[in-house]
Amino acid sequence: MSKIDGATLIVRSLKQQGVDSLFGIVGFPVFGVALAAQREGIQFIGMRNEQAASYAAGAVGYLTGRPGACLTVSGPGMIHAIAGLANAQSNCWPMIVIGGASDSYQEGMGAFQEAPQVDLARPYTKYSARPDSAKRIPFYLEQAVRSCINGRPGASYLDLPDDFLTAEFEEDEIVFPPRCPEPPRPQAAAADIESAIAALRKAERPLVIIGKGAAYARAEGEVRAFLDATQLPYLATPMGKGVAPDEAPLSVAPARGLALQQADLVVLLGARLNWMLHFGVPPRFDRNVKIIQVDIAAEEIGRNVPAAVGLVGDLKSVVGQLNEALSAESFRYPADTPWRRALAEKVEENRQFVRGMMDDESVPMGYYRVFREIQEQAPAGSIIQAEGAQTMDISRSVLMHDAPRLRLDAGTFGTMGVGLGQAIAAAIVHPDKQVICIEGDSAFGFSGMEVETACRYKLPIVFVIVNNNGIGGGFDSLPEDPFASPPSAYTVGAGYEGMIEGFGGTGYRVRTPAEFSAAFKQALADAMPSLINVLIDPQARAKPQKFPWLTQ
Ligand SMILES: Cc1ncc(C[n+]2csc(CCOP(=O)(O)OP(=O)(O)O)c2C)c(N)n1
Ligand SMILES: [Mg+2]
């Protein structure tokens, strides 16, 4: 009869539950877990900070629909990973943190790295537990997985004391629950589908808003069929981009302000009326706007704005139901209406405006010229990670996606520092795709050391630092007294490109469009990661009205 220890129990359970990779940092008491992972055929990705490791796990959850996993040491390591739990929970992405903990029998004694870990994780998770015994680790792990992928996805935390990880059992004493199946895809009530179609027919200024919930639900086929059938104008939230193509006649993303403000009916597909959509209220929305809200979570229906029709269910199922109803009795928003014309005009006006900035060849460059180059050279299907303030926001309006789940960013929680972990996760999940990680110079600083991780695993990510010398930029030089520097300033012309060279990647420092173009081309061709430090105009801005908080 063979023996099995707690560390092997946890990784075997992870494997059984469809978790193929584990991001983390080893130390007390989880060294054995990482070794067991490698033994049992789970890829262990050793990172440089648990924050980045936990962000990577969240991104795996979003990209695959099965939870990504993060392994931490006790105390400070677990506390770093709360960052990823909170980020995933806020974005509704499934992930699990496996936190090592001090020995259970030393609880309250002042043990090494002792911390109330289950309690710390609780507000940022759907499920946070310590198994009642080592033997039942597989039971708890299945609970953690089931909780985080079902209903509204989110985060789970499992706490494993040292004595649980080293405990040994006869293998036949252990019960491994079967793999938790893919979540069911519940449908909305038939009467609500009818009400939704009836409301659509009455709309004069309809708008579809596509959220990352639609991307997560893999509803792109249904959403595209719905738009095809109804010919409704649409736009997407940042990570909803690509569910329907960004560039298509019905896409009114460049007219976002007008579209939100004047729509009399919004079909909300897997997006929440939170800060990202200005809560659905005036002055950014019409006071009388009717919302047809599709969401997997019943409690989300009616948040901030009472829903005219609430369709509770899986995005793919519910939009499929709408399509079915439409095929029985079609509805097509007319091709020529004042609403369509107003949107088209605004789209064209904003396109021209942005085009002018994209074609501006001045040196130093502004954001738009940098992103134009990326847009033109990035191979089809590239995954774009973008974070920063202006870097992230402007990249969204220039970089176009025609397929879903190809954009990762600071998301609902607005977390800076997610970039490198997410990019590494994307490269691991999709080795066939080019990953481009676009970082504001401030955003890069949060997890910049993970370039070593990318180099060590030979992940050919292209890191582009859009360097304006600080948070929002604005400074060509700093005062002599460093303590008199503006709070948002960082080193002028910092040599970030040097960082990656110490690990075997290639660094570039560029200022002109031609230099950037050549460096980006070379970086895309290289098999090792590259980092291009683009020294842009520190005064570069987007359209002024979009960033009032930066100009105040
Ligand atoms: C964890 C965290 N800390 C701080 C912030 C506040 N914050 C918002 S954007 C930003 C950085 C913006 O600067 P940068 O990345 O250089 O992009 P830029 O706007 O200059 O292009 C910061 C620090 C945050 N959102 N998240
Ligand atoms: Mg900056």
For every one of its 552 residues, what pLDDT tens digit does the chain have, with 9 covering 90 and above?
799 999 999 999 999 999 999 999 999 999 999 999 999 999 999 999 999 999 999 999 999 999 999 999 999 999 999 999 999 999 999 999 999 999 999 999 999 999 999 999 999 999 999 999 999 999 999 999 999 999 999 999 999 999 999 999 999 999 999 999 999 999 999 999 999 999 999 999 999 999 999 999 999 999 999 999 999 999 999 999 999 999 999 999 999 999 999 999 999 999 999 999 999 999 999 999 999 999 999 999 999 999 999 999 999 999 999 999 999 999 999 999 999 999 999 999 999 999 999 999 999 999 999 999 999 999 999 999 999 999 999 999 999 999 999 999 999 999 999 999 999 999 999 999 999 999 999 999 999 999 999 999 999 999 999 999 999 988 899 999 999 999 999 999 999 999 999 999 999 999 999 999 999 999 999 999 999 999 999 999 886 434 433 333
Question: Of the residues 394, 416, 468, 488, which should be mutated to test ligand 1's pocket, given the most ligand atoms within 8 Å of the CB?
Answer: 416
Task: Determine the pLDDT at residue 548.
Answer: 39
* Ligand 1 neighbourhood includes 466 CB (under 6 angstroms): yes
- Asked if 332 and 200 touch (Cβ cutoff 8 Å), the reply is no
* Ligand 1 neighbourhood includes 87 CB (under 6 angstroms): no
Q: Which atom of ligand 1 is nearest to the CA of 473?
A: 20
d(CA 53, CA 84): 8
Q: Which atom of ligand 1 is nearest to the CA of 410?
A: 25
Task: Determine the pLDDT at residue 549.
Answer: 37
Q: Which atom of ligand 1 is nearest to the CA of 467?
A: 16
Task: Determine the pLDDT at residue 474.
Answer: 81
Kindly list the distances between the CA atom of residue 13 and the CA atoms of 135, 139, 179, 198, 367, in Å, as whole numbers in the listed order. Answer: 12, 9, 9, 48, 46
Task: Determine the pLDDT at residue 543.
Answer: 62
Cβ within 8 Å of residue 119, ≥6 positions away: 128
Kindly list the distances between the CA atom of residue 233 and the CA atoms of 213, 342, 344, in Å, as whole numbers in the listed order. Answer: 19, 12, 10
302: phi > 0 → left, psi -120 to 50 → alpha, else beta; which? Answer: left
User: Going by DSSP bridges, is the β-strand pair 206-210/265-269 parallel, antiparallel, or unpaired?
Assistant: parallel
Q: Which atom of ligand 1 is nearest to the CA of 468?
A: 20
Kindly list the distances between the CA atom of residue 188 and the CA atoms of 45, 196, 310, 318, in Å, as whole numbers in the listed order. Answer: 40, 11, 9, 6
- Asked if 262 and 204 touch (Cβ cutoff 8 Å), the reply is no
* Ligand 1 neighbourhood includes 51 CB (under 6 angstroms): no
Distance 443 CA to ligand 2 centre (A): 7
Phi then psi dihedrals of residue 540, to 5 deg? -60, 140
Question: Of the residues 82, 275, 385, 471, which should be mutated to test ligand 1's pocket, given the most ligand atoms within 8 Å of the CB?
Answer: 471
Residue type, 504: G
Distance 441 CA to ligand 1 centre (A): 9
* Ligand 1 neighbourhood includes 417 CB (under 6 angstroms): yes
d(CA 167, CA 165): 6
Q: Which atom of ligand 1 is nearest to the CA of 83?
A: 1
* Ligand 1 neighbourhood includes 471 CB (under 6 angstroms): yes
Distance 414 CA to ligand 1 centre (A): 9
What's the residue count for the chain? 552
Task: Determine the pLDDT at residue 552.
Answer: 30
DSSP 189: P
Torsion of CA 408, 156, 8, 77, to 10 degrees: 70
Q: Which atom of ligand 1 is nearest to the CA of 490?
A: 16
Q: Which ligand is nearest to the CA of 389?
A: 1
CA 491, chain centre distance (Å): 29
CA-proximal residue: ligand 1, atom 4 (nearest): 416
Q: How many CA atoms lie within 13 A of 191 on its CB side?
A: 0
